[in-house]
Amino acid sequence: MTGADALIQTAVAAGIDVCFANPGTTEIPLVQAIDNSHEMRAVLGLFEGVCTGAADGYARMSDKTALTLLHLGPGFANGIAYLHDARRARSSVINLIGEHATWHIPADPPLHSDIESLAAPVSHWVRRNKGAEFLASDMADAATAAQIFPGRTASLILPNDYLLAETTAKYELPSRVAPPSVDHSAILQAAKLLRENQPSALFLGGYALRARGLRAAARIAAVTNCELICESFPTRLERGAGLPTLKRLPYFPEAGRKLLAPFGAIVLVGARNPVTFFGYPDSPSYFISPEQKNSVLATPEEDIATALEALADELGAPANVGNFAELIRPEIPQGQLTPEKFTAVVSALQPEGAIIMEEGISSVAHYFVQSGGAPQHSYLSQSGGAIGLGLPCATGAAIACPDRPVITLQSDGAAMYTLQSLWTQAREGLNVTTLICNNRRYQILEIELKRAGIKEAGKKARTMIDLDKPEINFVQLSQGLGVPAVRVNTAEALAAELQKALHEDGPHLIEMML
Amino acid sequence: MTGADALIQTAVAAGIDVCFANPGTTEIPLVQAIDNSHEMRAVLGLFEGVCTGAADGYARMSDKTALTLLHLGPGFANGIAYLHDARRARSSVINLIGEHATWHIPADPPLHSDIESLAAPVSHWVRRNKGAEFLASDMADAATAAQIFPGRTASLILPNDYLLAETTAKYELPSRVAPPSVDHSAILQAAKLLRENQPSALFLGGYALRARGLRAAARIAAVTNCELICESFPTRLERGAGLPTLKRLPYFPEAGRKLLAPFGAIVLVGARNPVTFFGYPDSPSYFISPEQKNSVLATPEEDIATALEALADELGAPANVGNFAELIRPEIPQGQLTPEKFTAVVSALQPEGAIIMEEGISSVAHYFVQSGGAPQHSYLSQSGGAIGLGLPCATGAAIACPDRPVITLQSDGAAMYTLQSLWTQAREGLNVTTLICNNRRYQILEIELKRAGIKEAGKKARTMIDLDKPEINFVQLSQGLGVPAVRVNTAEALAAELQKALHEDGPHLIEMML
């Protein structure tokens, strides 16, 4: 058995059985070890960002640990952006990063670089393997690190000579650690704040946005009349008919502060104290003002659902409450597509159990409200802000949940970062429907220029905003990557094509001219 | 004047007038400053790797400093791979990396990360700006650092609040420093080695591969009968009819050592002691054996051309020698395309002054020899090994040399890393012809598996090697990005399409089924 075999066998023993891979020469022993393994599945990405973004999506939807296989420093670097997102999403991801043979590194070969320095900013845990006999234990330690609730990113740097060397060393996996319980004082404090400060709100994130946490939150709302508000960019929010309704914190500081302003107290549950995405002049970093009382019921890494249930009990909430969303869908609109009509069509047609990956940037403002009464679905968004997560994250989500349809609401500019994901969707026959919002510009930059007081962007500024010269044809791009595609201009055409795509197996792309 | 204006004005004063940009919200002040500048040109990339790869190509062909404009840590991370290549190529590149407003960073907003840790492995010089009043001097220092001969990578981290703040601070640019001269003892030692050890070789890299250095090397060869050999992956090699002929060090260790084995002495000129790309078991790191004598005439950062001329004079070489390549082109072959026929067609048709960007990986083995007698051309290759450099590097080369045709010899797998480059080529109307070697696999992995003793890749290993399910259609992809494209299967069709592409303005793509 090679060191690489020992590593892959340990990964399988830790419950890890999908590897999003883009290997090179130094990773050949791992390619061979995956080939030798019955359990490990390899999913090829044509670009490393596809692998890391898919790992994030897979981890979010499977609640398992995703593996990536990347080629040395530069290959890893191509995956950093979506590991940044995965770290912010608290997804459980382990990166297997190939490294030159140890004896070759002093010669500083062309592809050599400081992998630790690249890995540190996006990894909770980084280790360089020191020999074949440690590959099993290093993998086990990486799994332990990555499986700290709700999930962490771990990076393992793997010299080629150690991967190739024979070893018999195995390693007993420690049992998985449950998330720490919340101290009872936090429950009492939250109860006090909610009782004594009206109106109040629960600000929910992370695992608070799964069904169990949401049901407990609804119990709390039923007795305290508190508002339920979720993070601007939830990692995974379970929602739709039969689940509690909540509001989402708006992206821009003014709107966000306006939503939160009425509340005398805000209790944070599985969410950080919310921070504006960017720092704007004369606008503070935090949404919650210093005059507002707040407390932390549970951090994102504590046992959030149990804490919410304990708080509901403490408040004397009944076990069953009725304040859940009803099945109400918008009508399918007619005529020339607009952003609002596009999201109305999706809200009207998305099937039960759909996974919605949203990276629509400026084109999806209305979706969240329109889809609140759609059948139950999982809603994923871009937790870390690294543009281009939509397509790969949807790809990984579809690998995790082959029986659920995935719909990606995708802006055109962001789609162009990791369009290669479509090829992996075709290769794996994934049920993903990608809806491209083609508005032929980085509209968010246009908005931000206006916010910065620039009424009309100059000619050269426009060359950095407009995407219309040449126009990108997403139908051709999609077909070139093996995914059937169609372009639509009207709401009725979108409705017809979306229904068709959802009824046919395999991936589809619909380009919407907005 | 904002700090951003001061920075851009200083860049222009340092002779920097092209910025490869993919800005975001934090970089809005720089977008505005570029808009305010008459001299600075902005070239938009749809992905940051396009920007950094183009910066590398631009620097190589203009001998000027290229600017990139990137969005925070994750945006910068997407550009790291080709900054790795630029660092290895010793290209002069300055990265302007946006950063959150200083007062916002303690709140750890979603896009915050440790930019210094990401930048260090690919930057000779990194600085975080400390205030608007230092933006001019920071830019000047970055230019000084990036312009150390032959070129370095510098990264400047730019907090948004300082970019926005008003400043009057200017900065006098220091005059550019000439590369250090070679010590006369190095010339004497090289002369002695070449005279006393027959046969001998000059191993040439970096600026030794420009016309002036090559002509001096030919004079040395004329009197010592030494072989002229260049690095496996030259940054920029001037070659073709009327220039000295040289051999190239093969990629694989066995072939490389076989080429070098006969030489009793090898003199390194502007090149590092050559190292194998990867470390293979039972194969040393260095190509030159410990039994072979070697000396360094000039390091890559010294005044290489002057050193070569001094060595030629020391050896009493005549001023004019005749050992230059003659104009000899292969016949245009007929029939089903093969890698050898494809490169014969290119060698037969490439025009005078062409810039050849080669990232053909396993499909271009014959090109170097076949094109040795083509009209004078510049040959660029992938100095750092980060896959996908071909298309963006060609894009930057075309921006640097609008009057010269650029031909990219591009493997299919590597093309898929940064295909977005085609859109920038269309947007800027660049005269680039991209030849895609579509062999529907990562052939280099197949070769490396065989080298590792695995006769037949297993089923799962093949899922990480084959690119045929689904087949990638580069014609559709290219058209989708605004570049006219055609697919060819025969040598005569390639010849016809290549001639057509070279005669029409703007970019073209030819997909070759190999």
What per-residue confidence (pLDDT) applies to A452? Answer: 86
**CB–CB of B80 and A383 under 8 A?**
no
Tell me what pLDDT residue A173 has: 87
pLDDT at A242: 96
| Shortest alpha-carbon distance between residue B484 and chain A (Å) | 12
Backbone angles phi, psi at A123, to 5 degrees: -130, 130
B51 close to B58: Cβ distance less than 8 angstroms? no
The mean per-residue pLDDT over the stretch B252-261 comes to: 96
pLDDT band of residue A453 (cuts 50, 70, 90) is confident
Q: Which residue of A has its CA nearest to B286?
A: A107
Contact between chains at A111 and B384 (C-beta distance less than 8 A)? yes
User: For residue A205, what pLDDT is reported?
Assistant: 98
User: What pLDDT sits at residue A358?
Assistant: 97
- Predicted pLDDT of residue B76: 98
Predicted pLDDT of residue A263? 97
Residue B175's pLDDT band (boundaries 50, 70, 90)?
Answer: confident
Chain A residues whose CB is inside 8 A of the B279 CB are 100-101, 103-104, 107, 109, 160-161
How many Cα atoms are found within 13 Å in the side-chain-facing hemisphere of B431? 18
Average pLDDT over residues A367-384: 97
Contact flag B477-A481 (C-beta cutoff 8 Å): yes
What pTM does this model have?
0.98
- Closest-CA residue to A399 (of A14, A113, A144, A17): A17
For A122, the token pair is 């996006």
The single-letter code of the amino acid at A267 is V
Distances B48 to A211, A282, A393, B23 between C-alpha atoms, Å: 38, 31, 19, 9
Task: Tell me if A117 and B122 make a contact (CB, 8 A cut-off).
Answer: no
Task: Give the contacts of A371 (CB within 8 A, at least 6 positions apart).
Answer: A239, A240, A343, A346, A347, A350, A356, A377, A379
Contact B31 A449 (CB under 8 A): yes
- Residues A264 and A194: beta-carbon distance below 8 Å: no
Least confident segment among B142-146, B249-253, B321-325, B389-393: B321-325
Q: Please give the residue of chain A at the shortest CA–CA distance from B462.
A: A35
DSSP B358-412: EE-GGG-TTHHHHTTTSSSEEEEE-SS--TT-HHHHHHHHHHH-TTS-EEEEEEH
pLDDT of residue B160: 98
Identify the pLDDT of residue A306.
98
Average pLDDT along chain A: 96
Nearest to A482 by CA among B474, B238, B267: B474
Q: Do B384 and A454 touch (CB under 8 A)?
A: no
Residue A326 makes CB contacts below 8 A (sequence gap 6+) with A241, A373
Nearest to A413 by CA among B48, B242, B10: B48
Question: What is the residue-averaged pLDDT of chain B?
Answer: 96
Size of interface A-B (CB pairs under 8 A): 306
CB atoms A423 and B472 under 8 Å: yes
Taking an 8 Å cut-off on Cβ atoms, the answer to whether B460 and A384 are in contact is: no
Residue B412 has pLDDT above 90, yes or no: yes
Q: How many CB atoms are closer than 10 A to CB A498?
A: 24
Query: Which one, of B174, B115, B118, B169, lies nearest residue B147 by Cα?
Result: B174
Look at A423 and B470 and tell me if their CB atoms are within 8 Å: yes
Q: Which residues of A touch B440 (CB under 8 A)?
A: none
Per-residue pLDDT at B116 exceeds 90: yes
By Cβ distance, the residue of A275, A427, A472 closest to B109 is A275
* Arithmetic mean of pLDDT, A324-332: 96
Q: What are phi and psi of B298, to 5 degrees?
A: -150, 135
* ipTM for this model: 0.97
What are the chain A neighbours of B113 within 8 Å (beta carbons)? Answer: 84, 121-122
A464: closest CA of chain B, how far (Å): 6
Query: Which range (A47-56, A179-188, A315-324, A467-476) has the least confidence?
Result: A315-324
Interface test with A, best of B18, B46, B102 (most A CBs within 10 A): B46
Dihedral through CA A154, CA A158, CA A163, CA A165, nearest 10? -120
| Residue B333: per-residue pLDDT | 97
Q: Which of B28, B118, B423 sits opposite A470 (nearest CB)?
A: B423
Q: Name the minimum distance, in Å, from the CA of B137 to any CA of chain A.
A: 25
pLDDT tens-digit series, residues A282-299? 899 999 999 999 999 999
Nearest to A21 among B275, B464, B481 (CB): B464
Confidence band for B323, pLDDT divided at 50, 70 and 90: confident
Q: Which residues are paired to B155 by β-bridges?
A: B95, B126
Q: What is the pLDDT of residue B453?
A: 85
pLDDT at B166 over 90: yes
Q: Looking at the complex, report in whole angstroms how far the Cα of residue A195 sits from the nearest Cα belonging to chain B.
A: 29
Give the pLDDT score at B407.
98
| Mean per-residue pLDDT, A417-423 | 98
pLDDT of residue A198: 86
- Closest Cα of chain A to B98: distance in Å? 12
Q: What's chain B's Rg over C-alpha atoms?
A: 24
The reported pLDDT for the residue numbered B193 is 97
A373/A326 Cα distance (integer angstroms): 6
The tens digit of pLDDT for each residue in A461-495 reads: 999 999 999 999 999 999 999 999 999 999 999 99
pLDDT of residue B106: 98
Out of A42, A74, A108, the one facing B464 most closely (by C-beta) is A42
Name the least confident of A354-363, B80-89, B268-277.
Answer: A354-363
Query: What residues of A are in contact with residue B40 (Cβ under 8 Å)?
Result: 460
Poorest-confidence range of B246-255, B357-366, B419-428?
Answer: B357-366
Contacts of A215 (CB under 8 A, 6+ apart): A243, A244
Cβ contact, residue pair A111, B386, below 8 Å: yes
Whether A104 and B276 lie within 8 Å, measured CB to CB: yes
Kindly report the nearest CA distance between residue B123 and chain A, in angstroms: 11
| Rounded-to-10 torsion of CA A298, A299, A302, A305 | 50
- Nearest Cα residue to A241 out of A217, A220, A212, A211: A211
Residue A175 confidence (pLDDT): 84
Asked if B25 lies within 8 A of A464 by C-beta distance, the reply is no
Q: Which of B463, B468, B474, B483 to mutate to test the interface with A (most CBs of A within 10 A)?
A: B463
Residue of B285, B444, B480 lying closest to A474 (CB–CB): B480
Chain A residues close to B460, C-beta within 8 Å: 34-35, 37, 40, 42
Q: Which residues of A touch B101 (CB under 8 A)?
A: 278-279, 281
**Would the pLDDT of A362 be above 90?**
no
- Cβ(B49)–Cβ(B56) under 8 Å? no
Query: Out of B74, B160, B479, whose CB is closest to A279?
Result: B160
Q: How far is A508 from chain B (nearest CA, A)?
A: 14
Q: In whole angstroms, what is the distance from residue A68 CA to residue A64 CA?
A: 13
- pLDDT value at residue B169: 86
Contacts of A84 in chain B (CB under 8 A): 73-74, 77, 111, 113
Place B292 in a pLDDT band, splitting at 50, 70 and 90. Answer: very high
